[in-house]
Each structure stands twice: as C-alpha cells, then as structure tokens.
C-alpha cells in the first residue's frame, strides 16, 4: 500500500487469519466477525476472555486472538460467572448455541442472568443441533424435520420452541437482552449494533447482557445457503421476533 | 500460636483463607453448611468473593472459570454434591487446573443420610468422573490435621496443577477441637501460573481446554497426566505409623475418623498385652501401598485389618498392596453408623482366635 491508498476493510485484529471449519452458508462466521470487530473497536482484545460452548462453536478459540476457556456443554455461563467474579477487570463473553444454552445449560443461563453477572452472552439460535448431526433442539420449529424428529417436531410430545430472549426478559434483575438476525446485510448491521451495546453495558459494569442471533444451518436443515436465509426469515423470524426485550435503563425508570 | 476451639467446618474454612483462597463457590448441603456460612460472613472482610450457586453442577463450573484466572479458589460440599461436580472435576483434571475441593462425606448411596461415612473413597481416589485422571486426596483425622491439610491442599494443587481434595467425614466437619493456625504461613514456591487466562495483552492468547479430537494429541495429554501422578506417588505419599513395632500381631490400616477409633482400640489392646499397629494413610491418592506391604510382611504380622466406615473400599487397595503375602481382613459399618471401639476390638480378637469369615469386603 502506498501513501495514496488506505485500507477501508481489513480483518479485525481480534480475528485470526485462518480458514474456519464452518459449512458453506453457515452464519457463525459472520457472527464471529461481528464480535471480533466490536472487541477491536472498544480496544478490549487484550483483556477479553471468551468462553466457548460445546457444539459447532467450540472451535471459536481457533479463530479469535483472545484468551479462551472451553466449557462443558451448557456450562459457559457458570465458567463466565467464576472468572468474572474473581477477575472483574476482564471482559468476559460466552458464545453458545441453542442446544448448549436453551437445553443442557438452561439452569446456568437463567441463574447467571438472574444474579446479574456482568458478562455478555452471544446466543446463536439456528433451531437445531449442528455438530452432533442435526438433532431436534428446544428451539426447533413446530413440524421441522430433524434426525430425531423425522416426522417433524410434534408439539404435543415436545412442546413449543423455547423463546429464550423473552423467557430471560421476565427476570426482575436489570439486563440488556436483544434478538437480532444475520440473514441480510441490513440485519447484520443491526446485529453488530446490538453486540456493541451488549459489550458497552459490560464495560460500564452495568448488567448482564445477551444477544440472541437467529442463524442458519444449511447442512442440517437440508437447504441451500440461499434457501436457508429465506427459511430463517419466513419460518423462524415470525416465531422469534427481533427487537430489544429488556434494557437496564428501562428498569431504572420503573 | 493461640489455640482456638472451633467446629471442624469452620476451621477448614478459616484454613483456606489463611492459605490465600478467598474465592469460594458453593451450594448448601448438610453436613458441611458451616463452611459456606462462615465464608459468607468472612470473605467480604478479606476482599474475597462468595457465590452461592444454583446447583453443584454450576459450582464445579464456576470453579473451572475462576481457577482459570490463576487465583486460589475452592468449594466445599458433601457426597451427593460432589457427585454433581464430577463433570467439572474431569474437565479441570483434563485442563490441568489446581482447584481444591472439600468433601465432608455423608452416607449413601443416593440421597442417603447426613451422618458420617467414608463411602466416597472409590469416587475420590479412582477419578470420580469420566476419563483417565486422578485427584490428589488428603484425609485428615483430627481438626488440626484438617486445618493443616486444607492449607497443604492449595499448595499441592498449585504444585501439580491438579484438582486436590480434602476428604473428611461428617464427624470431622461437625465436632469441635482446639486448633492452631500458623501465624506466618510460608510455602515452598509453586510453579508460575503462566497458563492463566488473564487477557492476552502483550502475549499470545491462552486457551484452556480439554478437547482433542486427534487421538495422538489426546493420548499425549493423558501421558502428561500419568507422568504427574507418577511424581505424586514418588514425592507426596503421606501416612502416620501408630504404635508400629516388631511385636505387632495385626497391622490395622484405617484413615480419617475411623483411624482415631482404631487408635483407641490399639491403646486398650496394649493394656492387655496384645500388640497391634496402625498405618494411617493421610494421602489416599497417592496411596502408601509400598509402606503397607513393608509392614505387612514383617514376620510377626498374622493379618492386615482394614477398618472403614463403608462396606469395604480402601480394602481393595490394601489387598492390592499386600499382594497375598498376608491375609487381609475387613471390618466396616456404613450408612452413617460409626463403629465403636468395642466392636472393632471384638473383631480383632476374632481374627486372633481365627474365627473371622473368609469373605472380607463386599467384593472379597
């Protein structure tokens, strides 16, 4: 690059220059990048520790230039609680899928949120278990075919998909909770803003923050990448409405 | 040094603070609640952190996150609670993290009871959770020893980067005895905690993990662990020899509360000119197998008697240690029943009269 040119788009410093293991059309990569950009923008990379889940997101630590812990399945909020409590100077975030957060780790996320732990959770909801091969998740849509709901999710037996953002928003403890999606450029910009806000609340020592991100899983949905983006919008989004569900500021106004 | 009359659970709590462990995560369970209650009062005074978790599953994983900071953290619990922590203990063993766990054992299985027991020997010394790992286990038999071993536990955990457990029972937790805390506690230096996730400013990122999909890498991690356990067996075996001498006709092997009762029995038998010695393992893992064998093969020893508050767990290690060189006998009560000196003495008299059954432990 000479003096007359300058880069307007580069890889975030918080993101390693490596190829990810994600399938074509999966939106994990986009979400990773948004988090990395936010860490760069706040200049907090050097004091950030991420907590990886079990699921496709487990290898997030291979893609980030930050310290990382690898949690047992669903327990990331407990690890984040432990670390943040003894080292409050750190910025701690968990990155969890829907099997991890909404099924096996339900107790941990609810109680971490209820204690008002000052860390951030990026909750990636793609309505299925990805890494284990496409089994039904608590977030799987009614009628959705998965390897363990081969005739479609039967709500009589399995209940309806859990809306985690709404559920967590019922807690009295102040928190920042927003649901976003990453299936269009416009939504990606909104998602970035939400993630930024979530980290801002943590930097300010204000509250627990969680951003639920509607994401795709073309491989296990059995759709092409394009069809997947469409399915997210047509099938998931009406059931999982986007928006801010809770802010600490609203709590203070009460 | 001043002697203070304290309850076991509170003495253990204070000992941890004196060893620099001011970060405590726990869930209530009898018979060790005084530890948490003491910590809830005391830790804010010393700038520490007390978190009451939603479950022992969460406790184990909070410890995992907290210990990754490089600071001294611990929990206390009792048998069913320790079972729930096994997931995190396995992960911390795999990730080589120096967590300290206090188990004030109660009777099981299942919800069991709340009275003293030694029924978690297998769980503590053989791993406990999934995978190839060991926890370093220290078993106090007095409150002073509970204080000393609690402090030592933090040192050994740091020295080996390994989960370390103080395995006591409800009796140790609940009774009161005078204890002393060292005024100026000095430790041998421990390895630098250059593995801690403190933020990667000015260095390469650190990842604390136990996942290794490549079997070659995973086996290598297991070999590193195995090497560590070998070092523990070489350097950390601790035991007490009580009235062991060449005239002993029986060698008793017993630990914790049960060993104290055996001491009473041995004193009484001595008055009756019957010589019995006690080898009390203080480290349950690493186990003093060679030391037991060395005593067992002495010519005067007629048999080796293991006494436990269980239906026979440590006795399997004793049988393995003695290698059929001498008969190994077992006496135990379980479910919260603590054997009286009289019944242990009666059993010893039966052994000497060759009236004991051939079956020793439940697997015998």
Distance in angstroms (rounded) separating the CA atoms of residues A100 and A71: 10
From the list A48, A58, A85, the residue facing B199 with the nearest CB is A48
Distance in angstroms (rounded) separating the CA atoms of residues A213 and A209: 13
Across the interface, do A71 and B23 touch by the CB < 8 Å criterion? no
Answer yes or no: is A203 within a domain: yes
Q: How many domains does chain A have?
A: 1
Cβ-contact B248, B262 below 8 angstroms: no
Query: What value of ipTM does the predicted structure carry?
Result: 0.95
From the list A67, A82, A115, the residue facing B205 with the nearest CB is A67
Residue of chain B minimizing CA distance to A92: B199
Across the interface, do A69 and B211 touch by the CB < 8 Å criterion? no
Strand partners of residue A48: A91
Answer yes or no: is A150 within a domain: yes
Q: Which two tokens stand for residue A77?
A: 């909020």
Residues of B in contact with A39 (CB under 8 A): none
Per-residue model confidence as pLDDT tens for chain A (254 residues):
566 788 888 999 999 999 999 999 999 999 999 999 999 999 999 999 999 999 999 999 999 999 999 999 999 999 999 999 999 999 999 999 999 999 999 999 999 999 999 999 999 999 999 999 999 999 999 999 999 999 999 999 999 999 999 999 999 999 999 999 999 999 999 999 999 999 999 999 999 999 999 999 999 999 999 999 999 999 999 999 999 999 998 755 44
Cβ-contact B292, B253 below 8 angstroms: yes
Residue with tokens 């910009």: A189
Other Cβ atoms less than 10 A from the Cβ of B244: the count is 19
pLDDT for B48 equals: 98
Answer yes or no: is A187 within a domain: yes
pLDDT for A7 equals: 86
Show which residues on chain B lie within 8 Å of chain A, measured between beta carbons: 23, 25, 49, 51, 53-55, 57-69, 71, 73, 87-88, 91, 95, 197-202, 205-211
Q: What would the DSSP string read from start to end of A32-72?
A: HHHHHHHHHHHT-GGGEEEEE-SSGGGGGGGTBSSEEEEPP
What digits encode the pLDDT tens for the residues B346-357?
Answer: 999 999 999 876
- Which domains does chain B carry? 3-235 (3.40.50.970), 239-352 (3.40.50.920)
Distance in angstroms (rounded) separating the CA atoms of residues A48 and B198: 8
Strands B136-138 and B164-169: parallel
Angle between helices A76-86 and A106-115 (to 10 degrees): 30
Degrees to nearest 5, angle at CA A151 with A146 and A155: 85
Closest CA to A31 of A238, A180, A166: A180
Give me the CATH number covering residue A33.
3.40.50.970
pLDDT for A75 equals: 98
Give mean pLDDT, residues B137-165. Answer: 98
Other Cβ atoms less than 10 A from the Cβ of A39: the count is 26
3-state secondary structure labels for all residues of chain B: CCEEEEEHHHHHHHHHHHCCCCEEEECCCCCCHHHHHHHHHHHHHHCCEEEECCCHHHHHHHHHHHHCCCCCEEEEECHHHHHHHHHHHHHHHHCCCCCEEEEEEECCCCCCCCCECCCCHHHHHCCCCCCCCCCEEECCCCHHHHHHHHHHHHHHHHHHCCCEEEEEEHHHHHCEEEEECCCCCCCCCCCCCCCCCCCCCCCCCCEECCCCCCHHHHHHHHHHHHHHHHHHHHHCCCEEEECCCCCCCEEEECCHHHHHHHHHHHHHHHHCCCCEEEEEECEEECCCHHHHHHHHCCCCCCEEEEEECCCCCHHHHHHHHHCCCCCEEEEECCCCCCCCHHHHHHHHHHHHCCCCCCCCCCCC
Q: Is A39 on the interface with B (CB under 8 A)?
A: no
Across the interface, do B205 and A68 touch by the CB < 8 Å criterion? yes
Distance in angstroms (rounded) separating the CA atoms of residues A200 and A216: 27
Give SS3 for A23: coil
Residues of B in contact with A43 (CB under 8 A): none
The DSSP call for residue A9 is S
The H-or-E segment that residue A244 falls in is strand A243-246
The DSSP call for residue A213 is E
Give A152→chain B minimum CA distance, Å: 32
Q: Which two tokens stand for residue B130?
A: 């999934």
Between residues B2 and A209, the one the model is more confident about: A209
From the list B62, B201, B210, the residue facing A82 with the nearest CB is B62
Answer yes or no: is A53 within a domain: yes
Across the interface, do B57 and A78 touch by the CB < 8 Å criterion? yes
Residues of B in contact with A51 (CB under 8 A): 65
From the list A48, A83, A108, the residue facing B69 with the nearest CB is A83
Answer yes or no: is A209 within a domain: yes
Residues of B in contact with A72 (CB under 8 A): 61, 64, 87-88, 91
Strand partners of residue B167: B103
Give B124→chain A minimum CA distance, Å: 20
Answer yes or no: is A152 within a domain: yes
Residues of B in contact with A79 (CB under 8 A): 61-62, 64-65, 68
Distance in angstroms (rounded) separating the CA atoms of residues B125 and B110: 19
Strand order in the sheet with B207-208: A243-246, A175-181, A208-214, A120-125, A91-97, A48-52, A67-70, B207-208
A173 Cβ contact list (under 8 Å, min separation 6): A113, A114, A115, A116, A207, A208
From the list B53, B59, B210, the residue facing A70 with the nearest CB is B210
Residues of A in contact with B67 (CB under 8 A): 82
Residues of B in contact with A65 (CB under 8 A): 200, 205
Q: Which two tokens stand for residue B227?
A: 């090497």
Half-sphere exposure for A55 (CA within 13 Å, toward CB):
33
Domain membership of residue A45 as a residue range: 28-253
Q: Is A51 on the interface with B (CB under 8 A)?
A: yes
Q: Which two tokens stand for residue B120?
A: 């978690």
Cβ-contact B309, B332 below 8 angstroms: yes
Residue of chain A minimizing CA distance to B71: A86
Residue B362 predicted with pLDDT over 90: no
Answer yes or no: is A23 within a domain: no
Residue B313 predicted with pLDDT over 70: yes
Answer yes or no: is A10 within a domain: no
pLDDT for B262 equals: 98
From the list A46, A69, A81, the residue facing B199 with the nearest CB is A46
Q: Which two tokens stand for residue A162?
A: 């859990």
Strand partners of residue A151: none
Give SS3 for A155: helix
Query: Best of A78, A88, A113 to disrupt the B interface by mutation (most B CBs within 10 Å)?
Result: A78
Closest CA to A244 of A148, A177, A199, A197: A177
Residue B171 predicted with pLDDT over 60: yes
**CA B187 to chain centroid:** 20
Distance in angstroms (rounded) separating the CA atoms of residues B6 and A250: 49
Give SS3 for A180: strand
pLDDT for B364 equals: 47
Residues of B in contact with A90 (CB under 8 A): 69, 198-199
Residues of B in contact with A115 (CB under 8 A): 51
Q: Is A79 on the interface with B (CB under 8 A)?
A: yes
The H-or-E segment that residue A166 falls in is helix A164-169
Across the interface, do A107 and B64 touch by the CB < 8 Å criterion? no
Q: Which two tokens stand for residue B8?
A: 């076991």
Query: Best of B23, B73, B199 to disrupt the A interface by mutation (most A CBs within 10 Å)?
Result: B199
Q: What is the largest CA-CA distance in chain A?
A: 66
**Chain A (99-118) residues lying within 8 Å, Cβ to Cβ, of chain B:** 107-108, 110-111, 115
Half-sphere exposure for B268 (CA within 13 Å, toward CB):
15
Across the interface, do B207 and A67 touch by the CB < 8 Å criterion? yes
Q: Which two tokens stand for residue B348?
A: 């010893």
Across the interface, do A86 and B208 touch by the CB < 8 Å criterion? no
Q: Is A69 on the interface with B (CB under 8 A)?
A: yes
């Amino acid at each position: 690059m000479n003096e007359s040119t300058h880069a307007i788009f580069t890889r975030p410093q918080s993101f390693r220059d490596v190829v990810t293991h994600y399938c074509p059309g999966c939106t994990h990569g986009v979400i990773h990048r948004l988090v990395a950009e936010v860490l760069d923008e706040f200049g907090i990379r050097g004091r950030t520790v991420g907590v990886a889940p079990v699921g496709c997101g487990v290898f997030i630590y291979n893609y980030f230039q930050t310290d990382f812990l690898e949690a047992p399945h669903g327990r990331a909020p407990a690890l984040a609680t432990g670390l943040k409590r003894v080292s409050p100077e750190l910025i701690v975030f968990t990155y969890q899928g829907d099997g991890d957060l909404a099924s096996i780790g339900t107790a941990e996320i609810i109680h971490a949120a209820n204690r008002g732990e000052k860390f951030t959770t990026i909750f990636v909801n793609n309505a299925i278990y990805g890494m284990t091969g496409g089994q039904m998740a608590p977030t799987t849509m009614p009628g959705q075919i998965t390897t363990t709901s081969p005739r479609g999710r039967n709500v009589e037996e399995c209940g309806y998909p859990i809306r985690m953002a709404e559920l967590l928003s019922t807690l009295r403890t102040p928190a920042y909770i927003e649901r976003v999606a990453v299936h269009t450029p416009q939504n990606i910009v909104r998602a970035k803003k939400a993630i930024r806000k979530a980290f801002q609340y943590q930097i300010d020592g204000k509250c627990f923050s969680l951003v639920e991100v509607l994401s795709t899983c073309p491989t296990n949905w059995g759709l092409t990448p394009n069809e997947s983006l469409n399915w997210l919008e047509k099938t998931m989004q009406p059931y999982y409405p986007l928006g801010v569900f809770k802010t600490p500021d609203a709590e203070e106004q009460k | 040094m001043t002697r203070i009359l304290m309850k076991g659970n509170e003495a253990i709590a204070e000992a941890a603070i004196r060893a620099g462990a001011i970060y405590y995560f726990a869930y209530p369970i009898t018979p060790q609640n005084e530890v948490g209650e003491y910590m809830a009062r005391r830790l804010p005074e010393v700038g520490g952190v007390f978190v009451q978790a939603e479950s022992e599953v969460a406790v184990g994983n909070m410890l995992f996150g907290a210990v990754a900071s490089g600071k001294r953290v611990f929990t206390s619990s009792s048998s069913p609670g320790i079972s729930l922590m096994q997931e995190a203990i396995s992960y911390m063993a795999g990730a080589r993290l120096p967590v300290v766990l206090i188990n004030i054992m109660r009777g099981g299985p299942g919800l069991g009871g709340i009275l003293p027991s030694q029924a978690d020997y297998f769980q503590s010394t053989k791993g406990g959770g999934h995978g190839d790992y060991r926890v370093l286990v220290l078993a106090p038999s007095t409150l002073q020893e509970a204080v000393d071993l609690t402090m030592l536990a933090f040192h050994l955990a740091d020295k080996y980067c390994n989960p370390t457990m103080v395995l006591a029972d409800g009796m140790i937790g609940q009774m009161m005895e005078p204890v002393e805390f060292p005024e100026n506690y000095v430790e041998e230096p421990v390895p630098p905690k250059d593995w801690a996730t403190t933020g990667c400013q000015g260095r390469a990122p650190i990842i604390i993990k136990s996942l290794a999909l490549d079997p070659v890498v995973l086996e290598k991690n297991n070999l590193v662990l195995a090497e560590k356990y070998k070092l523990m067996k070489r350097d950390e075996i601790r035991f007490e020899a009580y009235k062991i001498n060449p005239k002993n006709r029986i060698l008793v092997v017993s630990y914790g509360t049960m060993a104290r009762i055996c001491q009473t029995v041995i004193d009484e038998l001595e008055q009756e000119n019957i010589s019995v010695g006690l080898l009390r393992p203080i480290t349950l893992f690493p186990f003093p197998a060679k030391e037991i064998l060395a005593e067992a093969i002495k010519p005067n020893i007629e048999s080796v008697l293991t006494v436990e508050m269980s239906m026979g767990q440590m006795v399997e290690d004793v049988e393995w240690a003695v290698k059929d060189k001498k008969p190994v006998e077992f006496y135990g009560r379980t479910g919260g029943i603590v054997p009286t000196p009289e019944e242990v003495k009666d059993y010893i008299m039966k052994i000497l009269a060759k009236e004991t059954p051939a079956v020793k432990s439940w697997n015998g």
